[in-house]
Amino acid sequence: MPAQRQRYSAEEEQLLMSQMWSPHVADDPETFVMFTFPWGQKHTPLEHFKGPRAWQREVLRSITRHIRTNTSPNAVLQALRAAIASGRGIGKSALVSWLILWMLSTRIGSSVIVSANSEPQLRSVTWGELTKWATMAINSHWWEPSATKLVPAAWLTTLVERDLSKGTRYWGAEGKLWSEENPDAYAGVHNHDGMMVIFDEASGIPDAIWSVAAGFFTEPIVDRYWFAFSNPRRPSGYFYECFTSRRDFWQTRQIDARTVEGTDKAVYDQIIAEHGEDSREARIEVYGQFPSTGDDQFIDLQRVEAAMKREAVPDPSAPIVVGVDPARSGADSTVIAVRQGRTILTLRRYKGDDTMTVVGHVIHTIEEYRPTLTVVDEGGLGAGVLDRLKEQRYKVRGVNFGWKSSRPAMYGNKRAEIWGALKEWLSTASIPNDKHLRDDLTGPRVKPNSAGAIFLESKKEMKARGLASPDAADAIAVTFAFPIGTDDPVLNQRGATHSRIVVPTVNYWNATQRA
């Protein structure tokens, strides 16, 4: 190797390579970061830092878990997709730099594609941070940085090609620009040695670029990683969908900047003070939460989050009602909700089950919670579930979302009516702090007709907007379909279109559940 590129003696270089490429470092990004950078060393930029922040460590550890899963016996190889939404200043750019350097240093011949919401962000921020960390790395002499590239030094490629007989043509990181008018130009290399794509400030990257980027991961290899980092600037687009309709395909994290160690809390306090606790600015820049979807949202996000934060007050005297929203397609989930008064006792989700299996889940819940009534959305798969439960002589009723509302001046159909009851109930209720439930409750838009009666957009319309079916919210909503004999004012103020159901005494539960 050329002498001018040597930082260590031949023996020291050999030792460094053996350490860097050992499974202990190579397959554990957290160990790599601690090994590679001069944490706590005097006269270095990291003199006063002991290591990554807690949230950064968790992301690094998730990669380790993924590698172990992918390399276990009989593993079905999967790509790791992770989306992180956060407030400002938590150290996203540093983590991006570590991920790039880990990939290139430990996966010889691998490729990394990095894109951002704009060219200035990519060149000045993302690549500037990468260059800084590459300079501090113990193997900094391995790399040749430029404006938007980081490639191995010539001596290293010569060594790898000669001694390992391995090609190095695609080894390196590239800051890739994109054009929304010509998204196909974004397509690039497929690399069997490993592929990583990183989207920085991902909220601003158009959906078409995301779709093309998915093509980078078609090779069935162990090392496939796609990371998206951003402040959650808009409640639409592919990045938003990572947390909503595409949530089953992405590992997601939302990070409140105030919870991150080493950040200036006064900055966040000032944002909140200037704009308000519920402001768009506070949500995006501080809480790491997406802004409200707008005025056509039927249930506002603030109402939902208040219910999630509200302490549950148990009311053993209130009747228990079970709501069931059976799945209609493979992408949807069957959800069973158990509500007692103003508290959700449990939410249970099941995916991919046939009718009889769903019936079994419902019976198990009935036997466990002994509800006054079980209500099933009888559309689609629900009709079979309802019939079987009736055949088994359980106290169960079906509701059809297309029924006429008992309050036609306000609501256009039964679905809108029971969602209206759900909305009012949320004002004083306590619900689980569940991001999927939050998305379900805030997803549907209002669609008033010419007479002013409220309808909600259908699940089909929601899916066309890229949103998931609001299965959990529908399961809770159906618990309001029929008035129950109770002192609950929200329940009793609803007009009844069907016969009133009297609350049975607990001693006679078995007799009333099976007629």
- At 154-203, the pLDDT tens digits run 999 999 999 999 989 999 999 999 988 888 889 888 889 999 999 999 98
- Secondary structure class of 329 (helix, strand, coil): coil
- Secondary structure class of 127 (helix, strand, coil): helix
Distance CA 348, CA 337 (A): 7
Supply the pLDDT for residue 330. 62
- At 242-259, the pLDDT tens digits run 998 899 999 999 999 999
pLDDT band at 138 (very low <50, low <70, confident <90, very high): very high
- At 408-464, the pLDDT tens digits run 878 889 999 999 999 999 999 999 998 889 989 988 888 766 566 788 988 888 877
Residue in the structure block whose two tokens are 């554990």:
28
Supply the pLDDT for residue 40. 96
pLDDT band at 234 (very low <50, low <70, confident <90, very high): confident
Supply the pLDDT for residue 302. 83
Average pLDDT over residues 333-359: 93
Distance CA 8, CA 11 (A): 8
Supply the pLDDT for residue 14. 93
Look over the chain and give the mean of its residue pLDDT values, rounded to a whole number: 87
pLDDT band at 502 (very low <50, low <70, confident <90, very high): very low
pLDDT band at 486 (very low <50, low <70, confident <90, very high): very low
Q: Which residues of 289-313 are buried (b: 16+ CB within 10 A; e: fewer)?
A: bbbebeeebbbbbebbbbbbebeee
Average pLDDT over residues 9-23: 93
pLDDT over threshold 50, residue 353: yes
Q: Write the DSSP string, 399-451.
A: E-TTSPPSSTTTBSSHHHHHHHHHHHHHTT-B----HHHHHHHH-PBB---TT
Q: Which residues of 177-191 are buried (b: 16+ CB within 10 A; e: fewer)?
A: ebeeeebeebebeeb
Closest CA to 282 of 305, 306, 257, 264: 257
pLDDT over threshold 70, residue 331: no
Distance CA 151, CA 172 (A): 4
